[in-house]
Amino acid sequence: MALSTEESGRLAALLSGQDERVTTRWTEIVTSSLRGRLSQAELRRQVQDLHRAIVSTGEQGIIDLSADSAAELRAALSELSRGRARQGFSATETTVSIFALKDVLAELVQENGGPNALPDYVAFSKLVDEMGLFTFESFVRTRESLIADQAEQLLELSTPVVKLWEGVVAVPLVGTLDSARAQVVMERLLQTLVDTSSPYAIIDITGVPAVDTQVAQHILKTVVAARLMGADCIISGIRPQIAQTIVALGIEFGDIATKASLADALRHVLRLNGVETARRQPRRDA
Amino acid sequence: MTAGIDLGQPQAQSVRSDEDVVRVRQLVRAVAVASKLSLVDQTKVVTAASELARNTLVYGGGGSVEVTVVDNGRRKGVQIVFADSGPGIADLDLAMTDGYTSGGGLGLGLSGSRRLVDEFQIETSAETGTRITVTKWSR
């Protein structure tokens, strides 16, 4: 849906003829819909950028949003939607900045009149719709990239490998253990085993809500990999309901040591190392 | 979690990606909690749902899951239907054998799920795909 050369020229002339009035009116309409969440000056600057982009594209000839000549216009639109998406505005609040132009154009076309008024307005209106959709698309793209970034950060956050004791590292697993996370856990654990030259690793699954065959398989693979590197793995945090589910499913952990709690697992490892833990008699001074 | 779930209506969830398997799990857990299943039974039915939903995704090429609260007059329960229009299961007896897998898993998903629930029905054909219905009753 491109505007013809004549239509583009008329649009550019219409907008640039009264540029001060156009941008002021445009800013007013947008401001009222955003209820003061962006400063008037900033909105005005954005509107002026868009205005300039449309006029300069129109003066060059055909306005076709997908053509090379509209690169500047596209850049202005994406910059606007990127900014709004990052500032937490909704899709409506973002596209309204574009659709407000329709109101401005309606006023201008009505004043100018002429035989071309209606077809012109319909054509301009289509262009504005297209610009609105483009803005919406880039808004969604920005949001999606934000979500992807956050998912990645979550992946990093949720898989720490901690040192519990000299020669003992632990991985507290929390949440869903899918293939991507299992891979991260395995890499981190194996690397930490090398870095700290620890002979023992404890995998704690207290925070894993359901252990199905896929989760079990990931854990088993991690244990086997750790064993190949000479480290012993203990699985801890097996709650009663998880134990019963594992039995019913028929998963076998073989000769891998499993414990109900992380404390039990640590005690088990310490005992294997010949460290005795004893409770000291509380002192009774009184 | 249970807020916003209308237990009178079946809850549907399509299964197209790994994230959908997680959604199925959350949905089944919410319905199981609302049907007053014990913690052990909740965990069992959620695990079974996770296995079967993953089978729907991996072997059936995606499909849909429907979770319903059922009542037989004496007890309440959770009924889950997994449907796909995949290639079906060629040898059902073999597929239900512990340790058999055509994919690379542990080979316990299908047989293990049957042990995790109270009722287990499976209909499969190359033309209509696979439809598995499982029910877990409260005690």
**Which position has the higher pLDDT, B44 or A5?**
B44
Same domain, A134 and A203: no
Same domain, A192 and A255: yes
- Strand, coil or helix: A44: helix
Q: Which domain holds residue A246?
A: 162-272
- Strand, coil or helix: A149: helix
Q: What is the DSSP string of B118-129?
A: SEEEEEEETTTE
Question: Between B43, B50, B51, which is nearest A242 by CB?
Answer: B43
Please indicate whether, in this complex, the C-beta atoms of A251 and B108 are within 8 angstroms of each other: yes
Whether residue B95 contacts residue A233, with contact meaning beta carbons closer than 8 Å, is answered with: no
CA-nearest residue of chain B to A251? B108
Whether residue A189 contacts residue A182, with contact meaning beta carbons closer than 8 Å, is answered with: no
Residue A284 lies in a domain: no
Same domain, A149 and A11: yes
Q: Amino acid identity, residue A107? A: E
Same domain, A182 and A41: no
Whether residue B124 contacts residue B88, with contact meaning beta carbons closer than 8 Å, is answered with: yes
pLDDT tens-digit series, residues A148-198: 888 777 766 667 889 999 899 999 988 777 777 788 888 889 999 999 999
Residue A278 lies in a domain: no
Burial A151-180 (b: 16+ CB within 10 A, else e): eeeeeeebbebeebeebbbbbbbbebbbee
C-alpha to C-alpha distance for A73 and A126, rounded to whole angstroms: 16
pLDDT tens-digit series, residues B25-42: 999 999 999 888 999 999
CATH number at residue A59: 1.10.490.130
pLDDT tens-digit series, residues A61-111: 777 777 777 888 888 888 888 888 888 888 888 888 888 888 888 888 888
Same domain, A195 and A132: no
Question: Between B39, B54, B98, which is nearest A250 by CB?
Answer: B98
Same domain, A174 and A145: no
Residue A84 lies in a domain: yes
What values do phi and psi take at B116, rounded to 5? -85, -20
Whole-number pLDDT of residue A13: 81
Q: How far is B136 from chain A (nearest CA, A)?
A: 14
Which structural domains are found in chain B, ordered by start?
A: 11-137 (3.30.565.10)
> Exposure of A84 by Cβ count < 10 A (0-12 exposed, 13-18 middle, 19+ buried)?
buried
For the question of an ipTM over 0.90, the answer is: no
Whether residue A65 contacts residue A130, with contact meaning beta carbons closer than 8 Å, is answered with: yes
% chain A with pLDDT above 70: 97
Q: Does B26 touch chain A (CB under 8 A)?
A: no
Query: Which two three-digit tokens encode residue A92?
Result: 């409506």
Q: How far is B45 from chain A (nearest CA, A)?
A: 9
Element housing A71 (H / E): helix A71-86
3-state SS track over A221-273:
HHHHHHHHCCCEEEEECCCHHHHHHHHHHCCCCCCCEECCCHHHHHHHHHHHC
Same domain, A123 and A9: yes
Confidence of residue B5 (pLDDT cuts 50, 70, 90): low
Confidence (pTM): 0.67
Q: How many helices (H) and strands (E) does chain A have?
A: 10, 5
Same domain, A200 and A241: yes
CB count within 10 Å of CB A126 equals 14
Please indicate whether, in this complex, the C-beta atoms of A212 and B50 are within 8 angstroms of each other: yes
Residue A70 lies in a domain: yes
**Which position has the higher pLDDT, A114 or B7?**
A114
Per the structure, the count of domains in chain A is 2
Question: Between A176, A214, A248, which is nearest B44 by CB?
Answer: A248
- Strand, coil or helix: A210: coil
Query: Which two three-digit tokens encode residue A26?
Result: 């445009």
Residue finishing a domain among A98, A131, A154 = A154
Task: Please count the residue pairs, one from chain A and one from chain B, whose beta carbons lie less than 8 angstroms apart.
Answer: 64
CATH number at residue A195: 3.30.750.24
Same domain, A106 and A174: no
- Residues on chain A touching B110 (C-beta within 8 angstroms): none
CA-nearest residue of chain B to A217? B106
